[in-house]
Amino acid sequence: MKDFKTLFSVIIIISYYLEYGEGQKILSIKDFILKTNHTIIDYSQAFHEAWKGLCEDETPNGSALVIRKNETYTLQPLIFRGPCVSSKIHIQIDGKLEGPRKPIYWKNTEKKSWLGFRDVEGLVINGSGVLNPHGEAWWKSVSHSKRPTTISFESCTDIIYNGLTQINSPKNHISIYGCTNATLSNLDISAPEDSPNTDGINICLSHKIQILDSSIQTGDDCVAITGGRGGSSDINITGVACGPGHGISIGSLGKDDETDDIVENVIVRSCSFTGTQNGARIKTWQGGQGLAKNILYENITLIDAGYPIIINQHYFDKSNYLKYLLGI
C-alpha cells in the first residue's frame, strides 16, 4: 500500500513537467490576486501582474502561468507587452477566460483586441481551455470597425498557440500581424454562420506561419491572408476543417488602393470545406496593386461549398458598400 502511494506521486510529478514545460516555475493567478486586491472581481489587474512575473523572469527555464480546469476569470481588454527578459514564456489555459457580458461593461474599448500580445518572443500558449469574450452581444449593436478581435499577436516571433477553444468573437477570432514563425494547432473556433465579420484567423504582414489540425466554423473567412505593407510569405495551412464559413482566402488584397499588397508561398493542404460559401478563394480590390504568387491548394475536400474555387479581381465587401457610396 505504501509503495503504491509513492509510485502514484511520482507519476503526478512527471505528468506535470510534461504538461507545463520542463523545469518551469509554476505561477497561479491566485498568487497575484492576493498581492493586488482581496476584493477584486475583475481579474485583469491580477493578469497584468502575472504577465510581469512571466516576462521579467530571469531564470533560464522561465515560468508557466497555469489556469486550471476549475478556474474561470472575467477579463477586461489587456495588452501583454514585450520585449521580455525571459525567452521561454508559457501560459497554460485549461480553464475559461471570459469577456464582460455586454459591450457597455467593457473598459478600454479603444483597444483593438481583447487579449493582445505585442513584441513577445518564445511564447507558448497551450491547453484545453476556452476563450469566450461573448461577442454575440456586439454583433448587432456595434459596427464592425469598433469591435475587438479576441486574441492578437503583433510583432511576435517563435509563437506556439495550441489546443484552445474559441467561441463567439466580437470580430475576427485571431489576428497575426507582423509576426515571424508561429504555429497554431488543434484549435476549435466557432461562431454562428450568420455572425458578421467573425473571421477565424487573419494573417497580415507575417512570415513562416503554420495553421494545423484545427476546426473553424464561423460567419466569415476561416482563414484570410493579406500582405499589408511588406507582404506575407511561407504560410502552411494543413488539416483545417472549415465550415460554415467563407473559405480559406488570400485577400482581400489591394483595399484602399494599396500598392504593395503581396502574398506568396502559401500551401493549403488536406483541408475540408463543408457547407461553406466558398472554398479556395483569392480576392483583390479594384484599384489596388500587389501580387498573389505561388499559392497551392492540394488534397482539398469540398462538400456543399457554394463557390469551390473563386478568384475575384473586383471584390466588394458589402458591409462597406454604403461607406463607399458616401465616400467615407
Closest CB to ligand NAG among residues 6, 39: 39
Determine whether 246 is an active site residue: yes
User: Among 38, 144, 246, 314, which one carries the catalytic annotation?
Assistant: 246
Q: Which H or E run includes 184?
A: strand 180-185
Choose which of 6, 7, 8, 70 interacts with ligand NAG (CB under 6 A).
Answer: 70
* Ranges within 200-219 binding ligand NAG (CB under 6 A): 210, 212
44 binds ligand NAG (CB under 6 A): no
Retrieve residue 115's grid coordinates.
487579449
Q: How far is the CB of 232 from ligand NAG (least distance, A)?
A: 15
311 binds ligand NAG (CB under 6 A): no
Q: Which stretch binds ligand NAG (CB under 6 A): 3-11, 169-177, 266-274, 276-284?
A: 266-274
The answer to whether 167 and 131 have CB atoms below 8 angstroms apart is yes
The answer to whether 64 and 16 have CB atoms below 8 angstroms apart is no
Q: What are phi and psi of 293, to 5 degrees?
A: -130, 140
Q: How far apart are CA 199 and CA 277, in angstroms?
A: 13
Q: How far is the CB of 159 from ligand NAG (least distance, A)?
A: 7
Choose which of 44, 181, 274, 312 interacts with ligand NAG (CB under 6 A).
Answer: 181
48 binds ligand NAG (CB under 6 A): no
- Bridging pattern class, strands 78-81 and 113-118: parallel
Q: For helices 44-55 and 29-36, give the axis angle rounded to 10 degrees.
A: 110
303 binds ligand NAG (CB under 6 A): no
Q: Is 52 exposed, middle or buried (0-12, 13-18, 19+ CB in 10 A)?
A: middle
Q: Which stretch binds ligand NAG (CB under 6 A): 122-130, 171-179, 188-196, 246-254?
A: 122-130
Q: How far is the CB of 301 from ligand NAG (least distance, A)?
A: 5
6 binds ligand NAG (CB under 6 A): no
Say whether 172 sits in a helix, a strand or coil.
coil
238 binds ligand NAG (CB under 6 A): yes
Beta-carbon contacts of 159 under 8 Å, excluding residues fewer than 6 positions away, are 117, 120, 123, 124, 125, 153, 179, 181, 182, 183
How big is the site for ligand NAG, counted in residues (CB under 6 A)?
Answer: 28
Q: How far apart are CA 211 and CA 221, in angstroms?
A: 14
Binding site for ligand NAG (CB under 6 A): 19, 22-23, 37, 39-40, 59, 61, 68, 70-71, 122, 124, 126, 158, 160, 162-163, 181, 210, 212, 236, 238, 267, 270, 272, 299, 301
Catalytic residue IDs:
246
